Each structure stands twice: as structure tokens, then as C-alpha cells.
Structure 1
Amino acid sequence: MKRTRLENTPCPAGRALDLIGDWWTLLIVRDAMHGVSRFSEFQRSLGAAKNILSTRLKALVAEGIMKVEPAADGSAYQEYVLTEKGHALRPVLIALGQWGSEYLFEEGEACTLMVDTKNRQPLRKIELRAQDGRILEDNEITAIVPKSHTD
């Protein structure tokens, strides 16, 4: 099945998935958020083939989600570091993880838990809020699709 490109869709979720929707890409970003920065570390952590990892890292750099810097320890290695655009994916990964822990684990089954570093307490479930602060239910959210310039 040929993959449909969504880079020109008016749907922000579609465009985002076009860029970061494959699981290798999100796992690379997740690992970078946990301090992984070198190619060999990503490969060891993910078990990804070198060609797949190389392709995904190049795409993340090309899209401004990561940047390449000289190794912090002064060695000849390069490190992949998240940019502001990359760090902005944290709520996406947190929400995905919260959904996964709620629906994909059996009662009492151990899973990774995201906690705040200060109090070591689990994060509150991400909530969707209106501009006035109200927590929104599913039936209180809708999409406004822009009219095309050809209409």
C-alpha cells in the first residue's frame, strides 16, 4: 500500500502525523527527552537497524526537531539534541503514554510512570481546556475547516 502524503492537508494532526507519525520517529524523540544523544545510544536503546535510524535522524534534523552538535565531552562524536520544536512534542508523548497506560496494560501490570522530578508524584492526566479554563468534554470540541482559496 502506497503511503499518502499529508503535508498539504489543512488538518494540523494530519500534517503532524505525516512528519512524526511512524513509531521509530516518536521513540527517537522519547529517548532524546530521556538524555540519549548519540547514534550508538539510540541504536542500543531502540534496536533499530542503522539505515532506519539514520534516515529518521536525518529527517528530524531536516525538520528542525533535532540538531546535530559536537559531543559535550569534547570527543570526536556528534550528538543529536532536541530543539525547541522537538521539546514541544513532550505533551504529545505524555498524552500518548497516559492513554497507553490506561488502555493497554492489565490491572496491576507494571509500566513506566511519568513523575515530576521535584515531588516524584505521577503527572495529572492531560486535560483539554477552553480559553476560559473550563475542562472540555468530547462533545464540547469541534473543528473549523478553512475554506479553500479555490472556493
Structure 2
Amino acid sequence: MALGKDYAEQDCSLARALEVVGERWTLLIVRDAFYGVRRFSDFLVHLDIPRAVLSARLQALADTGVLVKDGHDYVLTEMGKELWPVLHMLARWAEDHLSAEPSRFFVHTACGTRIGPDGTCAACRRRVPPEDLEAHAGSGLRRRSDPVSVILRSPHRLLEPIRT
């Protein structure tokens, strides 16, 4: 028997959030959208996800308003961009508690300072929005050979589309 997708009996905001982003693969799709992945084929090759699962997750994210489909591209909406602090903190949590090596670190483009675990620039003393961040390869980045991974090895600004 398949598990349901909702938490109807849970009277909780976290339960509502998990109904949107709590299924397997969903947060990785959102992460890749921040990295500039926009095309179905690029999500497919980079995530190595079953085609039907990717299609269902992208449709659910679009139906909820996290992504919008623009021609062949899937683009984060303002609502989707608000997930950045969640993704960043969850990755930092894994580094701190699960001995995960950082696959990426993020630099404030305005001043060149690496942001801290809470997303704040030490030099500017403010939380930096994703559009003002540049992603750099970290020590835990695996050297995968798919075209998206190769592109993402180089420093690149978040939310700027990549093209394979």
C-alpha cells in the first residue's frame, strides 16, 4: 500500500510544508533550480531520477506555485526562492551532524565573503538573498561526468540558468 501525500490529521504548519516539499527528490529538484537547472532533461541527467517521478514532482511544484513553467524551463517563483534559507540550513545541519563534507559553499557576490551557516555575510552583517550568491565547489563535491555536474563545478551565480 502506498503512503499518502498529505498529513490531514496533523494540525501543524510543518505538516503543510511537508505536503509540498517532503516527498523524495523534491528538495533536490528545488536545490537544482537554485543552481540554475531549468530544463527537464537537465534535471533528469543531473539527479538520475526516474522520468515519471521527475515529471510528477515538477508538476506538483508548479501546481503549488514553487515553480512556474516558462516554455521549456522550470523557474523558481518568489515563493520558491523563499525556500533558500531552509535548503542552506539543512545542508549545513548535515555537515555538522552527519559528517557530510560540503559539496558547495556560497560567496556573497557584492563583497566576495563566504556566507556563514546562517546565511549571513560576516563582512556586510546581513542575510544574503540567493540572487546575490555565487556557488563554489566544496571539498565533498563528487566528480560526476554528466554535463550539468561539469558545468556546476565552476563558480556560478545562483538562479542564473545553465545551458548544457
Q: Structure 2 length as normaliser, TM-score?
A: 0.64
Cα deviations by residue, 1:77-119 (Å, 9 ceiling, x for unpaired): x10001111111001001101101112226xx55322332334
In the superposition, relative to structure 1, how do residues 90 and 8 fare at CA in structure 2: closer, same or farther (>3 Å)?
Answer: farther
Aligned partners of 2:95 and 2:102 also within 8 Å: no
What does 1:77-96 correspond to in 2, within 5 Å? 78-96=72-90
Counterpart among 105, 116, 133 of residue 108 in structure 2? 116
Q: Deviations along 1:40-86, whole A, 9 cap, x unmatched?
A: 0000110001000000000001101101112xxxxxxx100011111
Change beyond 3 A, Cα 1:7–1:65: farther
1:101, 1:111 within 8 Å by CA — same for their partners in 2? no
CA distance in 1, matches of 2:53, 2:12: 27
Larger RCO, structures 1/2 (Cα 8 Å, 6+ apart): 2
User: How far apart are residue 6 of structure 1 and its match?
Assistant: 1.6
For this pair of structures, how many residues does the alignment match?
Answer: 118
Letter of the structure 1 residue corresponding to residue 62 of structure 2: V
In the other structure, the counterpart of 1:125 is 117
CA distance in 2, matches of 1:24, 1:69: 21
- Residue of structure 2 equivalent to 1:147: none
Structure 2 CA distance for aligned equivalents of residues 105 and 112 of structure 1 = 15
Query: TM-score w.r.t. structure 1 length?
Result: 0.69
Question: Radius of gyration: which is bigger?
Answer: 1
What is the Cα-based RMSD across aligned positions, in Å? 2.1
* Structure 2 residue matching 1:67: 3-state secondary structure: strand
**How many percent identity over aligned positions?**
38
Distance between the aligned counterparts of 2:21 and 2:69, measured in 1?
18
In structure 2, the residue matched to 1:139 is none
Runs of 4 or more above 6 Å deviation: none
Could you tell me which runs of 5 or more consecutive residues in structure 2 were left unpaired when the two chains were aligned.
120-164
- Report the secondary structure of 1:118's partner residue: coil
Structure in which a larger fraction of residues adopt strand: 2
